[in-house]
Amino acid sequence: MTSLKIPFMKMNGCGNDFIVVDNRQGIMDGFDLSRFVQRVCARGISMGADGFMMLEHSERADFKMRYFNADGSEGEMCGNGARCLSRFAHAVGAAKDTMWFETLAGFYHAQIHPESQLVRVSYPDVVLDELKLNQPYPMDGPAALYHYGWIGVPHTVWFVDRLAAISDRQIIDWGRQIRYDKTHFPQGTNVNFVEVLDPHTLQIRTYERGVEAETYACGSGSTAAAVIAGMLGLVEADSPVNVHTRGGILQISYQLADGLAQEVIMEGNAKIVASGELLPDAWL
């Protein structure tokens, strides 16, 4: 494998960046994927990214999404990654403008706008009774109460004031404390710090499990925050919510009815910023 060159694209959704590879021909067969991903996602010494994705064949959808966090762990799903992989699938001819794709978290629908960078991803319905709201947090943290839900992957949402004034160091310290709190979150969790700006607008910062750092954006975290804010009456649930991440704006829309968050849609950009070949020095 030392002479292998791996074609890839570098993409990002609202600054959440990924290395993306078409694996339909099995080009990644034989690799220790966890070790490989850790190496190529390392910033400074390799290509660097928040995550690594592979486009693969699916027997039940247009394609399968395989997503790996920068630490080499395989994730169930990634919202920003889903938008990027959808645009990638269209670019390499694996899907048309609308598509279904398979993930470890279930099946998702996506629609791309060929004349722009925008991609819409539709989530499965969220069962509201499965969300845990207003949970007390006895330790010193960003808020006395947190809200928990599984939106593709596990998320906690913490509503705070003056989010922009919270230091990067504090976000990291709180994020690590909560992410590794095995008593409350035995599977680990993503940690979303959210400020309500008005009934249609949220601001968010996210410490991502698997990246083990704050990222510029988290699509599933933004979706979780918007749905939970709607359930709590902090935003108008039946109209789009603009979620301001550090890397751009995601628009989340959904309807609350019959004990479900239905028609959950996330829309945002998906940029192709480079293409080329990963060379052996990237992973050896």
| CA–CA dist 44, 249 (Å, integer) | 27
| CA–CA dist 147, 216 (Å, integer) | 21
Instruction: Catalytic residue, from 14, 41, 84, 218: name it.
Output: 218
CA–CA distance from 167 to each of 90, 146, 157, 172, 240 (Å)?
39, 20, 18, 9, 29
Is residue 78 part of the annotated active site? The answer reads yes
Is residue 218 part of the annotated active site? The answer reads yes
Q: How many CB atoms lie within 10 A of CB 231?
A: 18
Which residue reads 């400020």 in tokens? 195
Instruction: Catalytic residue, from 14, 41, 78, 84: name it.
Output: 78
CA–CA distance from 203 to each of 120, 123, 164, 206 (Å)?
20, 21, 9, 10
Active-site residue numbers? 78, 218
